[in-house]
A and B are shown apart, each in its own frame.
Chain A
């Protein structure tokens, strides 16, 4: 069965510093990996996805993610954090097994960027 794990409940970063939000995955077959961001009282917004190809994926708002097959990781990164990046971040994997197209989410990581 597909699953993702986000080992950190919270990540604290100073504005202007690089940030990393960690995600590891477990899949049978090819992984289809996604990152979403959730601002307070809002739905989830799509940031980026990895399907195949380059291991470094670029997405919205200057975010990127690095796919590492040997470490089964898909960490979210940004070279220079902004206070406005503070939000809840979810890693997700597409269920290519029984539930067609369903996304399976991690528990989320709260990112706090301080001025």
Chain B
């Protein structure tokens, strides 16, 4: 079956611009996660959705970052007034349910964001 799909795979934008990154999770997965991975580092948690609601957004670095999941499936990560420090690979993952700790997270290939 289809895995987690992220688009675009690469995004280059100028400092100060607005960007949207899309994640299409595995069908039927209710839990969706966004992570950010900088060069040489492990993924860092940004936000977690259970269904349509953001159950935990404690990892979002500041109010320039926002994410939605209006129908409980596809999610969009939105970054306003991008800064060069936002350059990273943004990973999306889904899981059958966030409350079953047995269930592994399934990751997409990521979106590489470069802010020039």
Interface residues, chain A, CB within 8 Å of chain B? 32, 34, 36, 41-46, 49, 51, 90, 92, 94, 96, 98-108
B55 touches A (CB below 8 Å):
yes
B16 touches A (CB below 8 Å):
no
Q: Which residues of B contact A96 (CB under 8 A)?
A: 101
With A32-B101, A90-B43, A107-B42 given, is the CB distance from A46 to B106 under 8 Å?
yes
With A43-B91, A51-B102, A108-B42 given, is the CB distance from A100 to B48 under 8 Å?
yes
Cβ B105 vs Cβ A46 within 8 A: yes
Q: Which residues of A contact B91 (CB under 8 A)?
A: 43-44
Cβ A98 vs Cβ B45 within 8 A: no
Q: Which residues of A contact B99 (CB under 8 A)?
A: 100-101
- For A47, give the chain B residue with the smallest CB separation: B104
The 5 closest A-B pairs by CB, nearest first: A101-B98, A105-B42, A43-B107, A44-B107, A46-B104
Report Cα–Cα, A105/B42, bound state, in Å: 6
Classify the interface of chain B: helix, strand, loop or mixed: loop
Report Cα–Cα, A41/B108, bound state, in Å: 11
B60 touches A (CB below 8 Å):
no
Q: How large is the interface on B (under 10, 10 to 19, 20 to 34, 35 or more residues)?
A: 20 to 34
Q: Which residues of B contact A42 (CB under 8 A)?
A: 109-110
Q: Contact partner of A99 among B4, B40, B56, B95, CB < 8 A? A: B56
16 contacts between A and B (CB under 8 A): A43-B107, A43-B109, A46-B104, A51-B102, A96-B101, A98-B56, A99-B45, A99-B56, A100-B48, A100-B50, A100-B99, A104-B45, A105-B42, A107-B40, A108-B40, A108-B41
